[in-house]
Structure 1
Amino acid sequence: MSAISSRAPEPLTAPAVSVPRPRTGLVVDVGLAVLVVAMMGLMVTQPGHEAAPFHIMFVAVALAYGYRLWPVVPTLAVVVAITVPSGWLMWTHASEGALAHAELAEIPLVPILVLVMVWHAQRRATALRQVKDMASRQLAGLDREREFFRDASHAIRTPVTIARGHLELAAATEIPDGVEQDLTVALEQLDRMSALSNRLLALARLDSGVALRLQPTDVAELVEGLGTNWSASADRRWRIRNEPTGLVAVDPEWLALAIDALVENAVRFTTDGDTISLRCQLLDSTCIVSVTDSGPGIATEDLPKLFDRFWHRMPPNGPMGSGLGLSMARATATAHGGTLAVRNHPFGGAVFELTLPARSSGPSDHSMTRPSSSLL
Structure 2
Amino acid sequence: MGGIIALLIWHVNRQWSAQVRLRALQQADRHRSQQRENAARFGSHEVRTRLTIARGYAQLIADQSTELTVREDAELVVAELIKASALATNLLTLVRVVEPPNTEPVDVDRMLAAILRRWSVTADRNWNSRSAVGTVQGDNERLEAILDCLLENAVRFTGPGDTIAMTADAQGDELVLIVRDTGVGIPSTDLDSVFEVFRTGSTAGERAGSGLGLAIVKAVTEARGGTVAVASSLGHGTAFTLRLPLRPAPPATLGKTASASADRDPHDESVDVRS
Larger strand fraction of residues: 2
Q: Which residue of 2 aligns with 1:142?
A: 33
Instruction: For residue 136 of structure 1, report the CA deviation from its aligned partner.
Output: 6.3
Q: What TM-score does the superposition give when structure 1 sets the normalisation length?
A: 0.58
| In 2: Cα distance, 1:197 partner to 1:140 partner | 23
In structure 1, the residue matched to 2:10 is: 65
Query: How many residues of Structure 1 are paired with residues of Structure 2 in the alignment?
Result: 252
8 A contact 1:278–1:289 mirrored in 2: yes
Structure 2: runs of 5+ lacking an equivalent: 253-275
Q: 8 Å contact 1:287–1:358 — kept in the other structure?
A: yes
Note if contact 2:94-2:219 (Cα within 8 Å) is conserved in structure 1. Answer: no
How far residue 133 of structure 1 moved from its aligned partner, in angstroms, is 7.7
Identity value in percent = 32
Could you say which residue in structure 1 is the equivalent of 2:62? Answer: 171
Q: Distance in 2 between matches of 1:348 and 1:159?
A: 41
Q: Counterpart in 2 of 1:217?
A: 106
Quote how far apart the aligned CAs of 1:63 are. 2.2
Structure ID, larger Rg: 1
The worse-fitting range, judged by mean Cα deviation, of 175-184 and 312-321 is 312-321
Q: Is the 8 A contact 1:280 1:290 kept in 2?
A: yes
- Are 1:250 and 2:141 counterparts? no
* Change in CA separation of 1:228 and 1:300 when aligned onto 2, cut-off 3 Å: same
Asked if 2 retains the 8 angstrom alpha-carbon contact of 1:250 and 1:336, the reply is no
**Which amino acid is 1:59 matched to?**
I
Q: For the aligned residues, what is the CA RMSD? A: 3.1
Contact persistence 2:186–2:234 (CA under 8 A)? no
Counterpart contact for 2:59–2:75, Cα < 8 Å = no
What is the CA-CA distance between 1:152 and the residue it aligns to? Answer: 1.8
1:298 pairs with 2:189: no
Structure 1 counterpart of 2:210: 322
Query: Which position in structure 1 is the counterpart of 2:163?
Result: 275
Q: What's the CA shift for 1:197?
A: 2.0
Deviation at 1:59? Answer: 3.2
Q: TM-score, length-normalised on structure 2?
A: 0.77
Measured after TM superposition, the shift of residue 176 of structure 1 is 3.1
Equivalent AA in structure 1 for residue 176 of structure 2: I
Asked whether the 8 Å contact 2:174–2:243 carries over to 1, the reply is yes
Shift of 1:330: 2.3
Distance, in Å, in 1 between the alignment partners of 2:173 and 2:30 is 36
1:233 alignment partner AA: T
SS of the residue corresponding to residue 310 of structure 1 reads: coil
Q: Which residue of 1 aligns with 2:174?
A: 286
**Is the 2:197–2:212 contact (alpha carbons within 8 Å) kept by the matching residues of 1?**
yes
Does 2:121 correspond to 1:232? yes
> Match for residue 262 of structure 1?
150
Higher RCO (Cα < 8 Å, 6 or more apart): 1
Alpha-carbon offset, residue 245 of structure 1? 0.8
Larger CA deviation: 246-255 vs 297-306: 297-306
8 Å CA contact retained: 1:336, 1:356: yes
> Compared with structure 1, are the counterparts of its residues 315 and 260 closer, same or farther at alpha carbon in structure 2 (3 Å cutoff)?
farther
Partner SS for 1:172: helix
Deviation at 1:243, TM superposition (A): 3.7
Alpha-carbon distance between aligned partners in 2 of 1:264 and 1:136, rounded to the nearest angstrom: 39
Question: 1:295–1:349: 8 Å Cα contact kept in structure 2?
Answer: yes
Cα offset, 1:355, TM superposition: 1.6
